[in-house]
Structure 1
Amino acid sequence: MTLQAVDYQAPDAAQAFVQSLRDTGFGVLKNHPIEQALVQQIYQHGQAFFAGEDKQAYLYNVGTQDGFFPAQVSETAKGHQHKDLKEYFHYYPWGQCPDSLRPLLQQYYEAANQLAVELLGWIEHYTPQDIAAHYREPLSAMIEHSDQTLLRLLHYPALKGDEELGAIRAGAHEDINLITILPAANEPGLQVKLKDGRWQDVPCDFGNLIVNIGDMLQEASAGYFPSTSHRVINPEGTDKTKARISLPLFLHPRPEVVLSERHTAGSYLHERLVELGVLK
């Protein structure tokens, strides 16, 4: 199964997009409504933020998880021993944020949330009736008024050659949330694991928008939509000297949303954050 970009403006866009999610856990959109100029501005300001020392003034709050996470506290993917080679900033509208970034991040946050509502509507529309019966409320309603949806500004520094053996930019993992929306990064490296175990590059043309299923939608759909393993591999050759910026938006339901007989969104998130070592 080859991952193809779907034209958002095509008459069969919704059906083709949802079929891609069903087959691979990933969908790629082109000609979508997210402004590329805005994404480019965020990447530029993000590079400046991570290159400076002001980031230390925005060190993350343990309880609320907003702010700057330095490389030494970055995540270790479930089942992996090495920390990912990355640092990142967590943006919530209610959280701490430098003035240079807040207007841009808030504008993007609102635009991507608006698109997410439409995409979740597509997913629900093309969910078979017997599977949709598992949804306790409309998928798009699950994220309404949620203060848990997280925009992460991610920085993968240029590689210097002294990295821990076996460490990569982001170890193979699945996302916890409902869906993730990600503009193509400024450098390649994102790969998805196919059903036959092969790793495939995700189309990363600048302007593409990448969407993937998270564990919570897999849980809510009784496994119909797969939360697929993905990773960010280290570049080869001269590309090692290039840093990589990416901007995933993790769409989270309100904590009280019932995903299944086993879990609410809140209980599921807590369980996974403990597994990741983010919470004790």
Structure 2
Amino acid sequence: MALTSLPVLSLADDKASFSQAIGESFRTFGFALVKDFDIDRGLIDQAWQLSEQFFALPEAEKRSYHDPAIGGARGYTPFGVEIAKDAKHHDLKEFWHIGRDLPEGSPLADASMPPNVWPARPDGFQDVFSELYRQFDATGATILSRIAVYLGLDEHWFDRGIEDGNSVMRLLHYPPLENVEGEAIRAGAHGDINLITLLLGAEEAGLELLGKDGSWINASPPEGAMVINVGDMLERLTNNYLPSTIHRVRNPDATRAAFSRYSMPFFLHLRSDFPIRTLPQCVSAECPDRYPVAITADDFLQQRLREIGLKK
């Protein structure tokens, strides 16, 4: 019988129990639902309000923060630019990216990790999202430490790999749809590029993951929980032991088409110069190394950004 419901895990559980539970959920679904994380609820509420206010600004004002030369790494990306790999239609969304502020003189500062762009309004945007980024980053590091234990690694194994990592927080807006019958959808079926993604729940439903039996499974988190999913970098690192599962945001039914959908994923990335090399414990005679040639995290990222239309 196919599993069709993701368990809700508590980060407040002891380390060993949570490590085993999230590892099993990742092995089964490539996804997990997690509650009791240490991100301030009041800050999250402020972030939703500010995100909605920003996307309500005039189109010309929003586009003044768009720089095609950096492939959406920071600032605004307009509606209809991004496309899922191998898809025929662009996604029905617009978004804003916030990244890591690197120390002055960092060798990682380049086109992949440019300085952040901040809008003149709404008021408080920079302060709220800078702090939310910091809290997301810390929570992501905690999750990775539990995954490391599940993989038989030291709990600090990922620490150096994500130090000054190219992690990005995305503020997403899916505008109301005039035609829910068209072929384009809010976010086409895709896998994430990064190590893991942390996603706060959206008011409007629509997030679905592709089950092993080919059916789509609802992945919308309950109140107070977030979605965590495996990205392509972690899949490659573990020789596909932890799968990066295809997921999408389907269009709403006619009764909800007039409503915007907002979401806020945090894409936790390795540092740009980290070599993604298959973990030895994930290689065996039954499961030979699928990726015998290492690739740096930035080379992997740039390859994927070209595939999804954010870079030429």
Give TM-score scaled by structure 2 length. 0.82
Secondary structure at the counterpart of residue 117 of structure 1 = helix
Q: Which residue of 1 aligns with 2:13?
A: 10
C-alpha distance after superposition, 1:88-110 (max 9, x if no partner):
01112431112531111111100
Q: Does 1:90 align with 2:97?
A: yes
Q: Does 1:275 align with 2:307?
A: yes
Residue 214 (structure 2) aligned to one of 197, 207, 218: 197
Q: Which residue of 2 aligns with 1:72?
A: 80
Q: In 1, distance between residues paired with 2:77 and 2:51?
A: 14
The equivalences for 1:49-64 within 5 A come to 49-53=54-58, 54-63=61-70
Q: Does 1:48 align with 2:56?
A: no
Secondary structure at the counterpart of residue 33 of structure 2 = strand
The equivalences for 1:102-141 within 5 A come to 102-127=126-151, 129=152, 138-141=157-160
Q: Tell whether the 8 Å contact from 1:5 to 1:203 is kept in structure 2 after alignment.
A: no
CA drift of 1:270 comes to 1.3
Q: Does 1:144 align with 2:163?
A: yes
Look at both structures and tell me which one has the larger radius of gyration over its CA atoms.
2
Q: Tell whether the 8 Å contact from 2:200 to 2:264 is kept in structure 1 after alignment.
A: yes
Q: Does 1:230 align with 2:247?
A: yes
Aligned length: 271
Q: Which residue of 1 aligns with 2:295?
A: 263
Q: In 2, distance between residues paired with 1:259 and 1:267?
A: 10
CA drift of 1:120 comes to 0.6
Residue 27 (structure 2) aligned to one of 8, 22, 26: 22
C-alpha distance after superposition, 1:223-249 (max 9, x if no partner):
111000000001113211111111111
Secondary structure at the counterpart of residue 256 of structure 2 = helix
- 5+ residue gaps, structure 1, are none
Amino acid at match of 2:92: L
What percent identity do the matched residue pairs reach? 36
Q: Tell whether the 8 Å contact from 2:232 to 2:244 is kept in structure 1 after alignment.
A: yes
C-alpha distance after superposition, 1:224-279 (max 9, x if no partner):
11000000001113211111111111111111111123311111111111212221
Q: In 2, distance between residues paired with 1:10 and 1:154?
A: 31
Q: Alignment RMSD, CA only?
A: 1.8
Amino acid at match of 1:60: D
C-alpha distance after superposition, 1:88-142 (max 9, x if no partner):
0111243111253111111110001101111111001011x4xx59xxx922321
CA drift of 1:61 comes to 4.6
Q: Which residue of 1 aligns with 2:284?
A: none
Amino acid at match of 1:235: P
Secondary structure at the counterpart of residue 302 of structure 2 = helix
CA drift of 1:164 comes to 8.2
Q: In 1, distance between residues paired with 2:264 and 2:80?
A: 20
Q: Tell whether the 8 Å contact from 2:133 to 2:169 is kept in structure 1 after alignment.
A: yes
- 5+ residue gaps, structure 2, are 102-114, 278-292
Q: Does 1:212 align with 2:219?
A: no
Q: Tell whether the 8 Å contact from 1:4 to 1:203 is kept in structure 2 after alignment.
A: no
Q: In 2, distance between residues paired with 1:242 and 1:152?
A: 20
Q: Tell whether the 8 Å contact from 1:61 to 1:67 is kept in structure 2 after alignment.
A: no
Give TM-score scaled by structure 1 length. 0.91
Amino acid at match of 1:57: S
